[in-house]
C-alpha cells in the first residue's frame, strides 16, 4: 500500500476509537471510494458493461451502476432502467468475488524461480450477503485445514470488504432459505444499507472491524438516529419474505441420500448440456486442475493452476476411462456435493442462494425446482431442519 495509508488511518484513529451506526450520502460514498484508492487498494465493484452488471476496477464512485436494475429468470438475464438513482438496486451478476481471491488461472511455479505475481490489496465495494457467505465458505475450503492455499489466504487477509444488505431481492434469489441473507453476516469491514427517498440516496453504515472504523472516520458522515436504524433493519427483514425462490424445508443431505435412484435424475439429464456454466458462475465452486507449459526451446517450464468443473468428461478420469460418463451422474454429483456432502467435508452448505446457476444455465435448469421435485418424489420421511438453525452454526 502507498505511504499515505498510515497517515490517513492514524488521523482517523485520533478522532474516533469506536463508531456505532452512521449515515453517509452520495458525497460520502464518493469519498469512501476515493479514500480506499488513496490507501493503496485496488477498488473493485459493480459496473455496467456489455449489457450486464460486472465486477471491475473502479476509478471513482461514478463507475458504479447508478439507476440500473436487472430482470432475471431461468436462463435469462436482462438489464433494466430503474426509476431512481440506486447504486445497489440489482441482484447478482454473472461474476462473483471468487475471481479475485481464487483466480481462474494463476501461475504457481516457474523453473527459473520467479515467484508468482502478487496483486495489490483489494477493496470490494457492494458485497451481498450471499457473496459474503460464499467468501467465508471458500475460506473454510481453501484457507483452513492442514495445507491452506497461501495465495488465497494472503489475498483475503489484505482485502477490505464493504458489504451491502439486500432490501430488494431478485427473482432467482433464495438466500433466506439457505440461511445466508439478506442481512450480511460477519466478515465485513463496513456494511451499507442503501435507502432511497425524495432527497436521493443515503446509506446506513455499520462497522465490522477496526480498519472499517478508521476508514469511516476519514469520510463525511453523521450518527444515525434510532428511527433510521430500525427502518433500515425492517427493510432488510422484509426482503427475506420476498425471495424469488426457496429450497424445500428439511435436511437436504438426507433428501439427496434418499433420492440416489430417483427418476428425476433422468429428467434433468435430458435438459442438462453438461456445459459447466453453473460451476463457473458459482461463488463457492473451487475445483482446479494444473498443467505444465514450456517454451519452444524446452529450457523454461511453468506450472499453471486453473478452474475445473465436475461437469467435464475428464474430471473423474481414472485409467482407462472416466468414472462419471453420463450427464445424469455428473449433475447428480454436483448437486449432491453442493447441498449434501459439502457438510461432511467442510461443515457447511456449499450453496449460498445467489441464483446465478439458474440465470446462467442455457437451458434454465433451476436448482430449487430440482430439489423441490426430489422432495415431492421422496418415498420416505426425511427429518426437517430446525427453522432457526443456520447452516454455518
- 309 and 228 housed in the same domain: no
- How many CB atoms are closer than 10 A to CB 151? 18
- 102 and 77 housed in the same domain: yes
Residue 298 pLDDT > 50: yes
- 165 and 260 housed in the same domain: no
Percent of the chain with pLDDT over 70: 91
Q: Note the pLDDT tens digit of each residue in 231-266.
A: 999 999 999 999 999 999 889 999 999 999 999 999
Average pLDDT in the 40-56 region? 96
Q: Note the pLDDT tens digit of each residue in 65-102.
A: 999 999 999 999 999 999 999 999 999 899 999 999 99
Q: Kindly report the pTM of this predicted structure.
A: 0.89
- 175 and 321 housed in the same domain: no
Please give the residue range of the domain that contains residue 126: 21-241
Which pLDDT value is given to residue 385? 45
Residue 72 lies in a domain: yes
Which pLDDT value is given to residue 227? 94
Residue 3 lies in a domain: no
Q: Spell out where the chain has E strands.
A: 22-25, 42-49, 52-57, 68-73, 76-81, 105-110, 122-128, 160-164, 190-197, 200-207, 222-223, 288-294, 301-307, 317-318, 321-322
- 207 and 262 housed in the same domain: no
CA distance 130 to 166: 10
Whether the CB-CB separation of 133 and 393 falls below 8 Å is answered with: no
Residue 107 lies in a domain: yes
- 217 and 333 housed in the same domain: no
- 57 and 37 housed in the same domain: yes
Backbone phi, then psi, for 155, in 5-degree steps?
-65, -45
Residue 143 lies in a domain: yes
Residue 35 lies in a domain: yes
CA distance 161 to 357: 24
CA distance 196 to 363: 36
Q: Note the pLDDT tens digit of each residue in 129-180.
A: 999 999 999 999 999 988 999 999 999 999 999 999 999 999 999 999 999 9
Instruction: Work out how many domains the chain is built from and give that number.
Output: 2
Residue 391 lies in a domain: no
- 206 and 269 housed in the same domain: no
Amino acid at each position: 500500500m502507498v505511504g499515505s495509508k498510515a497517515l490517513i488511518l492514524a488521523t482517523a484513529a485520533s478522532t474516533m476509537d469506536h463508531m456505532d451506526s452512521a449515515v453517509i450520502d452520495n458525497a460520502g460514498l464518493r469519498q469512501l471510494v476515493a479514500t480506499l484508492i488513496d490507501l493503496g487498494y485496488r477498488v473493485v465493484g459493480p459496473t455496467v458493461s456489455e449489457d450486464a452488471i460486472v465486477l471491475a476496477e473502479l476509478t471513482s464512485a461514478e463507475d458504479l451502476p447508478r439507476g440500473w436494475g436487472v430482470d432475471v429468470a431461468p436462463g435469462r438475464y436482462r438489464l433494466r432502467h430503474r426509476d431512481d438513482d440506486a447504486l445497489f438496486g440489482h441482484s447478482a451478476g454473472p461474476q462473483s468475488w471468487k475471481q479475485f481471491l481464487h483466480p481462474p488461472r494463476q501461475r504457481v511455479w516457474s523453473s527459473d524461480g520467479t515467484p508468482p505475481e502478487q496483486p495489490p490489496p483489494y477493496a470490494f465495494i457492494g458485497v451481498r450477503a450471499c457473496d459474503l457467505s460464499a467468501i467465508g465458505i471458500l475460506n473454510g475450503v481453501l484457507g483452513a485445514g492442514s495445507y491452506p492455499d497461501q495465495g488465497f489466504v494472503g489475498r483475503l487477509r489484505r482485502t477490505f470488504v464493504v458489504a451491502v444488505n439486500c432490501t430488494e431481492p431478485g427473482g432467482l434469489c433464495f438466500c433466506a432459505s439457505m440461511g445466508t441473507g439478506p442481512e450480511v453476516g460477519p466478515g465485513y469491514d463496513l456494511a451499507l444499507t442503501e435507502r432511497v427517498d425524495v432527497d436521493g440516496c443515503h446509506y446506513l453504515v455499520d462497522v465490522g472491524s477496526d480498519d472499517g472504523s478508521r476508514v469511516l472516520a476519514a469520510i463525511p458522515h453523521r450518527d444515525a438516529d434510532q428511527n433510521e436504524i430500525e427502518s433500515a433493519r425492517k427493510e432488510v427483514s422484509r426482503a427475506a419474505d420476498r425471495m424469488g425462490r426457496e429450497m424445500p424445508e428439511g435436511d437436504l443431505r438426507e433428501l439427496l441420500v434418499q433420492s440416489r435412484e430417483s427418476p428425476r435424475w433422468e429428467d434433468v439429464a435430458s435438459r442438462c448440456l453438461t456445459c459447466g456454466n453453473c460451476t463457473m458462475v458459482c461463488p463457492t465452486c473451487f475445483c482446479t486442475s494444473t498443467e505444465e507449459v514450456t517454451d519452444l526451446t524446452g529450457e523454461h517450464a511453468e506450472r499453471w493452476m486453473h478452474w475445473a468443473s465436475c461437469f467435464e468428461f475428464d474430471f473423474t478420469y481414472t485409467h482407462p476411462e472416466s468414472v462419471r460418463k453420463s450427464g445424469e451422474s455428473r449433475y447428480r454429483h454436483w448437486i449432491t456435493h453442493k447441498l449434501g456432502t459439502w457438510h461432511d467435508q467442510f461443515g457447511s452448505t456449499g450453496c449460498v442462494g445467489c441464483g446465478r446457476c439458474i440465470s446462467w444455465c442455457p437451458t434454465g435448469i433451476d436448482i430449487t425446482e430440482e430439489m423441490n421435485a426430489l422432495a415431492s418424489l421422496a418415498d420416505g420421511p426425511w427429518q426437517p431442519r430446525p427453522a432457526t438453525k443456520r447452516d454455518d452454526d
